[in-house]
Amino acid sequence: MWQISKEGRLDQIVVYAHLAQGPVPMGLLSFEGTRKIRPSRFRYAKSWLARKDKFDIDPAILPLKSSSFNGLPYEVPLPFYDSAPDGWGKSIIQAAFPSQTFGMGEFLAAVGEERTGELSFGPTPDSGPMRWLPDGQALLALPSEQDTLQELFRAAEAVEAGQADTHHLQRLFRNSADQGGASPKASLLHEGFLHMVKFPAAGDLFDDPKVEATCLSLAEVSGIEAPVHFTQKIGNRTVLLVRRFDRRDNGVRLGFTSASTMLGADPTQFYAPFTYMDLARKAQLTGVQPCWHALFRRMLFNCFNHNTDDHLRNHGFIRDEGKWRLSPIFDLSVHQPHRLVLAPVKGISPEANPAIAIQAHPHFGISRNDAESIYEEIVVGMGKLPTILDQYEVSARDRETLAKLWVYALNPPPLSRNTDI
């Protein structure tokens, strides 16, 4: 059913949207040429454009119109990168099918229905969403039993140790191929809700699942929306479960776009010449519900928390009830670099120092008094850090390591009142 070239590549895939009545074809993504990285084009289907309940995949990059969109200078139009695996997920797919050449078309089609956002992919407009598996490859018979956290954890450890066999790859292909980021993770249905499971990784500076749980809880008490999260023990190790915020409680899928896509940044680059203010402004211009204050608060929080992995793919927006809004905060931890990836605004240092970052407040339309109020609310949240560390049983050794990075979390810098740059 899939349209496959003589080189074994997917020439086209149908893009589906999930509506109340089920998945509906919304367009066609096609590829040309024989190179590993092939140019692509996307066109909305006439049937989709004729619907009263139609919507665009991304208001800035793929607005509703009948003409086609060229993927150049990237392999596919940027919004599709948010539906694709990255890092860990790609490594699992490639390990599962080592003889297959993968480009973005193959990666998009090989991912399961737990992918981020509301899009799905299939071979034809009548087929419905389907997962593509390379013909003649080893993993056509996927496990049918309910996977457990312990089984997934063992499989992830085997991959990291370079000791994965077919059984391990089967489990992870089923549960991890949709995942982005570099660290080991998987999707799991837990108590009726879809969760992302994050495992500890070899070489972690500290018990990362416990520390990320701590950071998410710290964000909550600092006035920032965070997803439901909790830790669970597997033997003497800890895993973190984070409820997926791109799904409603009833499983309905929500649209998602990353800050990287919204700003038109190169999806392959970690650093990009953008600031928190650029993101807030672009969100407003794109029709996102105003988020100037929320992004300013998150910027200050990242400085206190020393979350210097705040790149554009670690910020996102979700579409709910037809409207775009800032997503809950995600992918939080404590990192070693002393500068934010995103500077507050051009002309203000990206040093992860909240007393410096607060000086950007006029650019966010925030008065000095209001900026100081936000700052003090985060300081109050930081005061709950010892209790949260106890809640997640973070070890004394890890606390000692973290204390060297949590300089401002443990000792918030005082502000010079009513002074600005």
CATH of the domain at 229: 3.30.200.120
Q: Report phi then psi at 258, rounded to 5.
A: -80, 160
| 139 — pLDDT class (breaks 50, 70, 90) | very low
Domain of residue 183, residue span = 149-243
pLDDT value for 92 = 78
pLDDT value for 138 = 43
What CA–CA distance (Å, rounded) separates 92 from 174? 10
Residue where one domain finishes, among candidates 107, 122, 137 = 122
Mean pLDDT computed over every residue of the chain: 88
Residue 134 in domain: no
Residue 139 in domain: no
Domain count, the chain: 3
Give yes or no: residues 289 and 309 share one domain. Answer: yes
Give yes or no: residues 195 and 69 share one domain. Answer: no
Q: What is the pLDDT of residues 210-264, one digit of tens each?
A: 999 999 999 999 999 999 999 998 878 888 999 999 999 888 899 999 999 999 9
- Residue 288 in this model has a pLDDT that exceeds 70: yes
Q: What is the pLDDT of residues 356-415, one digit of tens each?
A: 999 999 999 999 999 999 999 999 999 999 999 999 999 999 999 999 999 999 999 998
Residues 6+ apart with CB under 8 A from 285: none
Residue where one domain finishes, among candidates 86, 103, 122 = 122
Give yes or no: residues 401 and 271 share one domain. Answer: yes
CATH number at residue 402: 1.10.1070.20
pLDDT value for 307 = 97
- 178 in Cβ contact with 111 (< 8 Å): yes
What CA–CA distance (Å, rounded) separates 222 from 119? 33
- Residue 174 in this model has a pLDDT that exceeds 70: no
Q: Please count the other Cβ atoms lying within 10 Å of the Cβ belonging to residue 187.
A: 22
The residues that bridge with 351 in the sheet, in sequence order, are 339
* Residue range 290-307: mean pLDDT, rounded: 98
Give yes or no: residues 267 and 363 share one domain. Answer: yes
- Residue 176 in this model has a pLDDT that exceeds 50: no
Give yes or no: residues 208 and 314 share one domain. Answer: no
| 159 — pLDDT class (breaks 50, 70, 90) | low
Give yes or no: residues 159 and 284 share one domain. Answer: no
The first and second tokens of residue 275, run together, are 């600031």
Residue where one domain finishes, among candidates 175, 210, 243 = 243
